[in-house]
């Protein structure tokens, strides 16, 4: 059976094995628990149980049949645009349908695969299938993403994201009109106990803060600007759903798909429009922006004019 040997990042030392390894490998926690229960996870020659804390010393060895699925396969996606490229970082404008890095549950294109196909190297730090990745966007979310190319950039960017000094701004269309029209959602996010592929506001979850403001209101929804202080999985989708304004086109978190179908929208209306940060090596102030892609622009035009007079795509 194929195996992988993983170093234990500092942030996972002392964390229970099933939780840490799920995040380190991209597998679901239930899948990791099954692998552990089969006796196929060891550290320093000792079999681990799911609640055992990971130690700082000694690689963790996992045996499972999907390991080969985590290789980075070079495949280009012409729609993925390089916004900025230097020796230390690359900023991409990710289209919908592309994930950041390989995962056992995904067989489609990845940002790392596109970069490899174009001969753009990335940092070697991080798990093998996530090398250079310092933050991610969902497969159904488009927009701006940074990948580290040098080791110093990787280290500094990880710290910057951890300390929330990278300013991340999104545009989203939500159901209804948020009240108040500008506000902050401060609520902990964690996996739901009986649906570990889904997240929610839960007691004991990780601290999560989302700021939003209304940009434009329509009869059938509202365009909002969202700024994240934290970067939890599905954070915008979870928080907006928690205040009863789920994203249009997001059935997982309560979006009405009848409206999405009227708008011709096969995914959530969510786009990472802006990144602001100091360059991790030079210290130069960076600000990059991205316009929403055609599917989101057309849906927005229909919201502005429900009669259906949609202008041609730009």
pTM for this structure? 0.79
Map out the domains of the chain with their CATH numbers. 3-66 (3.10.290.10), 71-163 (3.30.2350.10), 165-279 (3.30.2350.10)
Question: Quick one: CA torsion of 144, 211, 182, 259, rounded to 10 degrees?
Answer: 50
Tell me the per-residue pLDDT of 272-303, one tens digit each, with 9 for 90 and over: 999 999 999 999 999 999 999 999 999 999 99
DSSP character string of 189-210? EEEETTEEEEEEE-TT-B--EE
Q: Is 138 a catalytic residue?
A: yes
Taking the C-alpha atoms of residue 309 and residue 276, their distance in angstroms, rounded to an integer, is 36
When pLDDT is averaged across residues 208-233 and rounded to a whole number, the result is 96
| Apex 288 CA angle, 283 and 289, nearest 5 | 165
Q: Between 2 and 124, name the one with better pLDDT.
A: 124
- Kindly tell me the burial class for residue 179, based on how many C-beta atoms sit within 10 Å of its own C-beta (0-12, 13-18, 19 or more): exposed
Residue whose token pair is 């959602």: 185
Q: Between 246 and 11, name the one with better pLDDT.
A: 246
Average predicted confidence (pLDDT) for the chain = 90
- Asked if residue 180 has a cis previous peptide bond (ω within 30° of 0), the answer is yes
When pLDDT is averaged across residues 62-70 and rounded to a whole number, the result is 69
Given 18, 93, 138, 295, the catalytic residue: 138
The predicted pLDDT at position 27 comes to 74
Taking the C-alpha atoms of residue 178 and residue 247, their distance in angstroms, rounded to an integer, is 12
Tell me the per-residue pLDDT of 140-149, one tens digit each, with 9 for 90 and over: 999 999 999 9
Taking the C-alpha atoms of residue 203 and residue 205, their distance in angstroms, rounded to an integer, is 6
Taking the C-alpha atoms of residue 136 and residue 168, their distance in angstroms, rounded to an integer, is 12
Q: pLDDT band for position 67 (50/70/90)?
A: low
When pLDDT is averaged across residues 224-245 and rounded to a whole number, the result is 96
Which helix (H) or strand (E) is 130 found in, with range? none
């Amino acid at each position: 059976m194929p195996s992988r040997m993983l170093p234990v990042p500092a942030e996972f030392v002392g964390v229970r094995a099933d939780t840490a390894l799920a995040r380190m490998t991209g597998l679901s926690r239930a899948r990791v628990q099954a692998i552990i229960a089969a006796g196929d996870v060891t550290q320093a020659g000792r079999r681990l149980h799911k609640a055992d804390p990971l130690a700082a010393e000694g690689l963790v060895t996992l045996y499972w049949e999907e390991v080969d699925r985590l290789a980075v396969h070079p495949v280009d996606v012409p729609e993925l645009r390089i916004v900025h490229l230097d020796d230390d970082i690359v900023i991409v404008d990710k289209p919908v349908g592309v994930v950041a890095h390989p995962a056992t549950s995904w067989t489609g294109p990845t940002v790392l695969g596109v970069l490899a196909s174009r001969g753009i190297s990335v940092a070697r730090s991080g798990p093998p299938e996530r090398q250079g990745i310092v933050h991610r966007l969902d497969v159904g979310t488009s927009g701006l993403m940074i990948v580290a190319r040098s080791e110093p950039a990787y280290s500094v960017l990880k710290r910057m994201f951890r300390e929330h000094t990278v300013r991340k701004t999104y545009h989203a269309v939500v159901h209804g009109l948020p009240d108040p029209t500008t506000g902050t959602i401060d609520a902990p996010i964690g996996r739901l106990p009986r649906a570990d592929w889904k997240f929610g506001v839960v007691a004991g979850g990780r601290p999560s803060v989302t700021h939003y403001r209304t940009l434009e209101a329509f009869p059938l929804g509202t365009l909002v600007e969202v700024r994240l202080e934290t970067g939890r999985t599905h954070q915008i989708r979870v928080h907006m759903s928690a205040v009863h304004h789920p994203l249009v086109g997001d059935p997982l978190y309560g979006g009405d798909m009848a409206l999405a179908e009227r708008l011709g929208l096969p995914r959530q209306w969510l786009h990472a429009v802006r990144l602001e940060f100091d360059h991790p090596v030079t210290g130069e102030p960076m600000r990059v922006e991205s316009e929403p892609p055609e599917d989101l622009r057309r849906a927005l035009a229909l919201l502005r004019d429900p009669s259906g007079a949609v202008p041609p795509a730009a």
